[in-house]
Amino acid sequence: MVQQPIRLVECPRDAMQGWKHLIPTQKKVAYINALLKVGFDTIDFGSFVSPKAIPQMADTRQVLAGLDMAGSKSKLLSIVANERGAEEAVGCDAISYLGFPLSVSETFQQRNTNSSIAESLKRVEAIQELCINNSKQLVVYLSMGFGNPYGDAWSEDIVFEKANELAEMGITIISLADTVGLATAGQVEQMTGYLVKQMTNVEIGVHLHSTISNWKEKLQAAYTAGCRRFDSALLGIGGCPMANDELVGNMDTAKLLDFFEGKEPLQINAEALQLSLYLAAEIFN
């Protein structure tokens, strides 16, 4: 079997969405334009969601208008939570991917998208149709994929069942999301490995939230399990403001790049990466 290349998904949207103060649009544009030159496969740049729910993302369309895609190999991904947001996103030529958060926790699905899991599955079907009709691709994030802090029912079987439902709808990219950092390395390896082996027509990714002490073991576990799609954010900033008051950091991109050095042939523009790190340090201070 031919080994698939590593796909790096940089997530400035996830880093910015819960930040304590509003980031000026022009700073977002400059930062994402720098990221577009680094060599990431995908940039999760913004979201078409209610500005009341996520005020930081209210200017997503303005940010998009300021992005320079010329010469960039990166594709843009935007998060949506319902058909209205999806209709707005599919109307933007520069966007290649829409991302939808489907939780295996009923409580979190209500908090995050103001809908039940059953309602959200119907939204996935509708958004998938919109994507097909507009030459976009839908990425579904299985949020709370490794457990939840609410006491909602969770098991590996529940996660696998939801993944299979999505595959039956024609979803070809599913990312397991460790939304509040509950996953152990053992869980990451077992669950990711199972999906990679069982769902050969689906690209399985991981969106791991981690700390300084456990990032490497989680990353190693996913890689060992055969995962080739990894979400991360420079400086390890981020987390979901709809899940917890205390944001759990994203996988730090610099650490992820160090991990893959010598293991995988990543084509990264070091100069653009340094500029991006400089701008990130200015924004997230």
Can you tell me the mean pLDDT for 93-113?
96
**pLDDT band, very low/low/confident/very high, at 2 (cuts 50, 70, 90):** low
The predicted-structure confidence for 192-244, as pLDDT tens digits, reads as follows 999 999 999 999 999 998 877 889 999 999 999 999 999 999 999 986 655 55
* Helix, strand and coil percent figures for the chain, each rounded to 5: 40, 20, 40
Q: Which fold has domain 7-284?
A: TIM Barrel (3.20.20)
Residue 278 to residues 160, 230, 281: CA-CA distances in angstroms?
40, 22, 5
**pLDDT band, very low/low/confident/very high, at 179 (cuts 50, 70, 90):** confident
Of 149, 113, 150, 261, which is closest to residue 141 (Cα–Cα)?
A: 113
pTM metric for this prediction: 0.95
Please tell me the predicted confidence (pLDDT) of residue 110.
95
Beta-carbon contacts of 70 under 8 Å, excluding residues fewer than 6 positions away, are none
